[in-house]
Amino acid sequence: MHTNQSLSSYWMPFSSNQDFKAHPRLLTKAEGHYYQSEDGRKIYDSFSGLWTSGLGHCHPKIVEAVQAQVAELDYAMAFQMGHPKAFDLANRISSMAPDGFEYTFFCNSGSEAADSALKIALAYHHANGDATRTRFVGRERGYHGTNFGGISVGGMVANRKVFSPCLLPGVDHLPHTLNLSENAFSKGLPKSGAHLADELERICALHDPSNIAAVIIEPAPGSTGVLPPPQGYLKRLRDICDRHGILLIFDEVINAFGRIGASFAAERFDVTPDIITTAKGITNGVIPMGAVIVTDRIYNSIVQGPPHLVEFFHGYTYSGHPVAAAAALATLDVYEDEGSFDQARSLEGVFEEAIHSVANHPNVIDVRNVGLMGAIELAPHTDGQGIHGLEAHKRCYWDEDLVIRNGGDILQFAPFLNSKPDDIYRTFEKVKRVLESLG
């Protein structure tokens, strides 16, 4: 067993380092829907890794593909060189994406995908002679990773406040869509809130739309605590962008690859953006990878000029990494072979019923869900925000052999795309017991 001293050197991301190292929760193995803890317990994963592992952990077909690739080609230079699997993967993604999305730019994470998308948007307008289009519009409570571009257009206060002097200039934010007074305990898409998209018209009037490059949002925000889009909201936003020549970027790092019961949320919600970012489920979380998928119009505007010149000065050492590409190709094969997106959609009713079974607990102030994404929001402890949420997370682990995610006082859930209904119901029976123990 590890001691507090042996854990001291690792600075953990988005974690309460002091609390964790006093009460460590270490996972040593994973298979299917379960982890194994360092003390040998079998722990059910109710969050599919970190929105990443919808097919379950250590899927044998993905493991086999990675093992074979690393023994054949471990790395290939990404600049002015290539390897077949990166091109095969780009073609495969195009076949799954909305019509017209024929080009994919690879990176290593959702954070890098967001920043890459912003740069692509600027490059597109510059290539079209619209160099004044430099402003971006994000959204309050939005999450687009933790690089400077992403936190500039993002709207999660804790991610921004220390770094605010260095955030990108020329960024506005739409209001978030959570309204507990009208939409608390909604099942699926809330009925009220489409009008909030009209705030984009006010921003256009303030700056003139000829200065705005792109709007970037998550179709169904996850990291902030699962905020399903109000009915009609996304279409309204698309219409306003079209009216003013503004690009619409969908950050689908969480939403894509089955989490909303389709290849992309754009498909499920029947709203087509101009740029889509993704990561997480592209490799089932096995190897880091991100991607930016763009329309023909955007690619062809940027990739032009003398053929010997670099058209877009951007990229990463590990763009399209061969092992990541092998993992992604195997993952996409499994999604298709196992009918994963249909499986996910068939579980939505079970998940909705199970998560809303906790709605009557006195400490629960909201339950919300869309696809296989859900959140239970707790009333804050009298001593401060986040105490109830972290305690629930720890008690689920220690007392119920269950991994959940908490973001402050919001408990978050992301079942596997191939979950067993009994496991989903059992998860929320355990959560109810933990909430009762919190008082």
Mark whether 28 and 83 lie in a shared domain.
no
Rounded to 5°, the CA angle 152-157-158 comes to 105
Q: Give the integer Cα–Cα distance in Å for 94 and 72.
A: 26
Give the residue-averaged pLDDT of 388-413. Answer: 97
pLDDT reported for residue 3 = 63
Q: Give the integer Cα–Cα distance in Å for 118 and 120.
A: 5
Mark whether 92 and 25 lie in a shared domain.
no
pLDDT reported for residue 1 = 64
Q: How far is CA 99 from each of CA 115, 241, 271, 272, 372, rounded to the nearest angstrom? A: 24, 19, 12, 9, 25
Mark whether 225 and 106 lie in a shared domain.
yes
Give the domain CATH number at 308.
Answer: 3.40.640.10
Q: How far is CA 143 from each of CA 220, 253, 381, 407, rounded to the nearest angstrom? A: 11, 10, 25, 12
Residue 131 one-letter amino acid = A
Q: Rounded to a whole number, what is the distance in angstroms from the first to the last CA of the chain? A: 32
**pLDDT tens readout for residues 271-295:** 999 999 999 999 999 999 999 999 9
**pLDDT tens readout for residues 98-111:** 999 999 999 999 99
Q: Give the integer Cα–Cα distance in Å for 290 and 106.
A: 6
10 Å Cβ neighbour count for 251? 33
Band of pLDDT at residue 52, cut at 50, 70 and 90: very high
Mark whether 26 and 174 lie in a shared domain.
no
**pLDDT tens readout for residues 71-89:** 999 999 999 999 999 999 9
Mark whether 238 and 227 lie in a shared domain.
yes
315, 338, 361 - which closes a domain: 338
Mark whether 17 and 110 lie in a shared domain.
no
- Produce one character per residue of 323-341: b if its CB has 16 or more CB atoms within 10 Å, e if not: bbbbbbbbbbebbeeeebb
The residue segments making up the domain with residue 425 are 5-58+339-438
* 378 DSSP β-pair partners: 364
Q: Give the integer Cα–Cα distance in Å for 33 and 48.
A: 8
338, 367, 401 - which closes a domain: 338
Mark whether 177 and 319 lie in a shared domain.
yes
Give the domain CATH number at 410.
Answer: 3.90.1150.10
Asked if 426 contacts 413 with a C-beta cutoff of 8 angstroms, the reply is: no
| Enclosing H/E stretch for 375 | strand 373-378
Mark whether 131 and 230 lie in a shared domain.
yes
Mark whether 227 and 364 lie in a shared domain.
no
pLDDT reported for residue 274 = 98
Band of pLDDT at residue 61, cut at 50, 70 and 90: very high
Average pLDDT, the chain: 97
Total count of domains within the chain: 2
Mark whether 192 and 286 lie in a shared domain.
yes
Mark whether 48 and 73 lie in a shared domain.
no
284, 313, 338 - which closes a domain: 338
